[in-house]
């Protein structure tokens, strides 16, 4: 699994109880085979993309605050692929 997708799966696990879309994305990652984060983003529906647009900025800021540079970079890569 791509490292970026692994980070995404990890943070989504924190939102699956609150957002059905988080569970849907988590399941796609768990059961799918996405060679890149771009392949995953292209497979997301509008609601799933909207959820990532909502939660990723907070997760990216958290990674920056705790100086987890790798996580910051990886999550930011996904965020930049999402349409606004």
pLDDT, averaged in runs of 10, over the chain (84 residues) = 86 96 96 90 96 97 96 95 86
DSSP codes joined into one string, 7-68? HHHHHHTTTTTT-HHHHHHHHHHHHS--SSHHHHHHH--HHHHHHHHHHHHHHHHHHHHTT-
pLDDT at 3: 85
pLDDT score of 2: 78
Write down the pLDDT at residue 1.
57
């Amino acid at each position: 699994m791509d490292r970026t997708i692994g980070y995404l799966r990890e943070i989504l696990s924190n939102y699956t109880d609150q957002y059905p879309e988080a569970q849907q994305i988590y399941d796609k990652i768990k059961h799918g085979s996405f060679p890149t984060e771009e392949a995953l983003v292209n497979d997301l529906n509008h609601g799933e993309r909207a959820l990532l647009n909502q939660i990723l900025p907070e997760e990216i800021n958290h990674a920056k605050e705790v100086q987890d540079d790798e996580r910051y970079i990886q999550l930011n890569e996904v965020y930049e692929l999402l349409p606004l």
